[in-house]
Chain A
Amino acid sequence: MNGTPTPSRQDENDPDDCGGPIRPSRGKDVDVAGSAALLGMSLPMDRAGAIAADLVKLAERVLASPVQPGFEDEPADFRKAQR
């Protein structure tokens, strides 16, 4: 062990512990409502909760894909891939 946190340290009983895979948990509705508030928008908490749940599931799916960008990959590479 070199001190690097690993997913196994996640506390299954603590929904706010994000040491492992991303999953819905307490407080993410507040984060979403806060993001909107930073932009001057008011978001009802029930709507924020629904958006948070969707986002967490979406991020989990996307980040679990076996295809992931490399360190040097950047958005402009799409235009190169078109050629």
Chain B
Amino acid sequence: MNDLALWTLAEASAAIAARQVSSRELVEACLARIAQWQPRINAFIDLRADAARAAADAADRAIAAGGPCSPLHGIPLAHKDMYYREGRVSTCGSTLRREWHATGTATVLRRLDAAGAIDLGTLNMAEWAGGATGHNIWFGDARNPWNPDRVTGGSSSGSGAAVAARLAFGSLGSDTGGSIRLPASMCGVTGLKPTYGAVSRHGAMPRAWTLDAVGPLARTAQDCALILAAIAGPDPQDASTAEAPGFAMPAVADGRAGRLADTLAGTVIGVEASMLQAADPSLRPALDTALAVLGDLGVELREVAIPELAAIFDLGGVISTTEAASIHLQQMRAQPSGYAPDLFTRMQAGLATPAVLYLHALRMRGLLLEKVRASVFSRCNALFAPTVAVPVPTRAESRTETAEDVGRIHGPLVRLTRPFNFLGLPSLSLPCGPDSAGMPVGFQLVGAPFAEAEILRLGMAYQSITAWHARVPELPA
């Protein structure tokens, strides 16, 4: 394989550690692909090529000097444009922040810097992380590398597109109702929404502080694990992480059938029947095949039902809408024309949420999590569900202008992801093949609180005998 950018993060990391490749070579490989792909998919908002080259050269010098070499040392990454870096613009996908300079650096960026990762630049996103499709009237829509007429999914739209097109080895997204998992699924990459409180949100733009999760999109579950290992854990600047346990990397499944059977012996995966039945028929062959593969690995599949699923979905919406309105109230009053009309309209709903209803949603959260733990995770290692219930829509058909459009288009997209934000559970989206239109399909493995290692272990095992994660979109001749 001549194009270094096509390696997985883990492969690139091993090659750097063995001095078979330099960080500068990896950066140049990514920059070459960015030059080819950016006009087609609009993944980047701000490419920082010179800074990336300089950082790569410094990383190479550190290795030559015999310095420590973490798994991310010298690896080119790029992140959703909502992680603040001191002195740099973070647009958050909004025209209101085109000239807004951060006064501090996000904890996750500090941790990636400390691990030696290279920052290629900032990636496109839905305005204020407030959309499930990837449309953006201010910076242009990010476009799906598999078909630029289709959406990427959002809100981490540029992250999904960039990782799928192999423009970066991984990316930080954020997930309040599905914003990591939707673009991961629709672009055919792997995405992890960690447990609420597992990763610091300090220095990340808030969308809804009770639900927000910071996590990676990458080419494989193993790559996601490598990034998570660098960013997870308590942060004194984010109280939600006070009880975050350390993240232990799962053992790497090596792909040999006997070994895999040993690894997965006794593993039980619950299949959420109503979520599976909600999937469009065009998605079912890929999803059913994924279940069959897990069964072939020796996993016991057991049908389960999440109690009060409809209420969980509704309550997640109450929290998300109300907190977003609170965060944006002053800015909406002062600069209403600085918002896309459909986003502004959607956020108006949060202004009228009765305080008692919002508090009711918060009080229900612990109760419902206990019920889900008892009914699902007391007897299953993980839960299987489709990531998205509908085929990847076109950009034209999913453009929203009215409030009715928003409900009609965004609701079905987040139907299977938002519940796990309300419950604060970790969820890994894995690609499982194309639908009948050739667009990617993904499924979720959802874990108990702080059970990231378990769902990553299962994801790595799945990907050790499937190749959907290795499919790469091609530029037209």
Give A10-39 interface residues, CB cut-off 8 Å to B: 31-32, 35-36, 39
User: Do A67 and B369 form a contact, CB below 8 Å, given A36-B352, A61-B314, A82-B424?
Assistant: no
Residue of B nearest to A66 (CB): B308
Q: How far is the CA of A58 from the CA of B316 in the complex (A)?
A: 12
| Interface membership of B364, Cβ < 8 A | yes
For B196, list chain A residues within 8 Å (CB): 82
Residue of B nearest to A63 (CB): B360
| Interface membership of B477, Cβ < 8 A | no
> Shortest Cβ distance from B194 into chain A, in angstroms?
12
> Shortest Cβ distance from B230 into chain A, in angstroms?
22
User: Do A35 and B351 form a contact, CB below 8 Å, given A69-B364, A75-B362?
Assistant: yes
Contact B351 A73 (CB under 8 A): no
| Interface membership of A81, Cβ < 8 A | yes
Contact B318 A81 (CB under 8 A): no
For A59, list chain B residues within 8 Å (CB): 354, 357
- Which of A40, A50, A52, A78 lies in contact with B366, CB distance below 8 A? A78
Q: How far is the CA of A75 from the CA of B424 in the complex (A)?
A: 13
For A35, list chain B residues within 8 Å (CB): 351-352
Interface of B, secondary structure class, is: helix
> Shortest Cβ distance from A77 into chain B, in angstroms?
3
Q: How far is the CA of A80 from the CA of B424 in the complex (A)?
A: 12
User: Do A52 and B314 form a contact, CB below 8 Å, given A40-B333, A67-B371?
Assistant: no
For A48, list chain B residues within 8 Å (CB): 352
Q: How far is the CA of A79 from the CA of B196 in the complex (A)?
A: 9
> Shortest Cβ distance from A38 into chain B, in angstroms?
9
> Shortest Cβ distance from A50 into chain B, in angstroms?
6
Q: How far is the CA of A75 from the CA of B196 in the complex (A)?
A: 14
Give B403-447 interface residues, CB cut-off 8 Å to A: 403-404, 424
Q: How far is the CA of A59 from the CA of B349 in the complex (A)?
A: 14
> Shortest Cβ distance from A24 into chain B, in angstroms?
14
For B366, list chain A residues within 8 Å (CB): 73, 75-81
Residue of B nearest to A28 (CB): B352
For A68, list chain B residues within 8 Å (CB): 364
> Shortest Cβ distance from B138 into chain A, in angstroms?
22
For A58, list chain B residues within 8 Å (CB): 314, 317-318, 357
For chain B, give the interface size range.
35 or more
Contact A36 B348 (CB under 8 A): yes
Q: How far is the CA of A82 from the CA of B242 in the complex (A)?
A: 12
User: Do A75 and B363 form a contact, CB below 8 Å, given A41-B332, A47-B348, A51-B352?
Assistant: yes
Contact A41 B349 (CB under 8 A): no
Contact B308 A36 (CB under 8 A): no
For B317, list chain A residues within 8 Å (CB): 58
| Interface membership of B263, Cβ < 8 A | no
Contact A47 B310 (CB under 8 A): no
For A78, list chain B residues within 8 Å (CB): 362, 365-366, 369, 424
Contact B352 A52 (CB under 8 A): yes
User: Do A77 and B367 form a contact, CB below 8 Å, given A35-B352, A50-B403, A61-B311?
Assistant: yes
| Interface membership of B315, Cβ < 8 A | yes
Contact A83 B308 (CB under 8 A): no
| Interface membership of B450, Cβ < 8 A | yes
For A39, list chain B residues within 8 Å (CB): 329, 333, 351
| Interface membership of B104, Cβ < 8 A | no
User: Do A67 and B349 form a contact, CB below 8 Å, given A62-B357, A78-B366?
Assistant: no
> Shortest Cβ distance from A11 into chain B, in angstroms?
23
Residue of A nearest to B372 (CB): A81
> Shortest Cβ distance from A42 into chain B, in angstroms?
9
Contact A82 B449 (CB under 8 A): yes
A39-B351, A47-B348 known; 10 other A-B pairs, CB under 8 Å? A39-B329, A41-B329, A41-B351, A62-B311, A67-B371, A79-B197, A81-B367, A81-B449, A82-B424, A82-B449
In the complex, 19 of the A-B residue pairs with CB atoms within 8 angstroms, ordered by the A residue number, are A35-B352, A41-B329, A41-B333, A51-B352, A54-B349, A58-B318, A59-B357, A62-B315, A62-B364, A67-B311, A67-B371, A69-B367, A73-B363, A73-B367, A78-B366, A79-B243, A81-B449, A82-B197, A82-B449
Q: Which 5 A-B pairs have the closest CB atoms?
A: A77-B366, A75-B362, A69-B363, A78-B366, A81-B366
